Chains A and B, each alone.
Chain A
Amino acid sequence: MAMLHIVNKSPFERNAFESCLNHASAGDSILMIEDAAVGAITKTAFAAKVEAALQDKSVYVLSGDLAARGLSEDRIISGVETVDYAGFVDLTVSNETTQSWL
Chain B
Amino acid sequence: MKGVIRIPPAKYTLTHNLYPFLIRSLELKFTLMINEGPYQHQASDTALQFARAVLEKGHEIYRVFFYHDGVNNGTRLSVPPQDDRQLQKEWSELSKAHDLDLVICIAAAQRRGLMNAEEAKRQGLDADNIIEGFHISGLGQLIEGSIQSDRTIVFGD
Which residues of A come within 8 Å of B, CB atoms? 1-2, 6, 8, 33-35, 64-65, 84-86, 88-90, 92-94, 96, 98, 100, 102
Interchain residue pairs with CB less than 8 A apart (27): A1-B10, A2-B10, A6-B153, A8-B42, A8-B43, A8-B155, A33-B46, A34-B46, A35-B41, A64-B49, A65-B42, A85-B49, A85-B52, A88-B53, A89-B57, A89-B59, A90-B57, A92-B30, A92-B151, A93-B23, A94-B24, A98-B152, A98-B154, A100-B154, A100-B155, A102-B154, A102-B156
Which B residue sits closest to A97, measured CB to CB?
B151
Contact residue among A65, A84, A100 (Cβ-Cβ distance under 8 Å from B153): A100
Q: Is residue B2 within 8 Å, beta carbon to beta carbon, of the partner chain?
A: no
- Partner pick for B24 among A64, A90, A98, A100, CB 8 A cutoff: A90
Interface string of B104-137 (1 = CB under 8 A from A): 0000000000000000000000000000000000
Interface string of B19-39 (1 = CB under 8 A from A): 010011000101000010000
Residues of B within 8 A of A (CB): 9-11, 20, 23-24, 28, 30, 35, 41-43, 46, 49-50, 52-54, 56-57, 59, 151-157
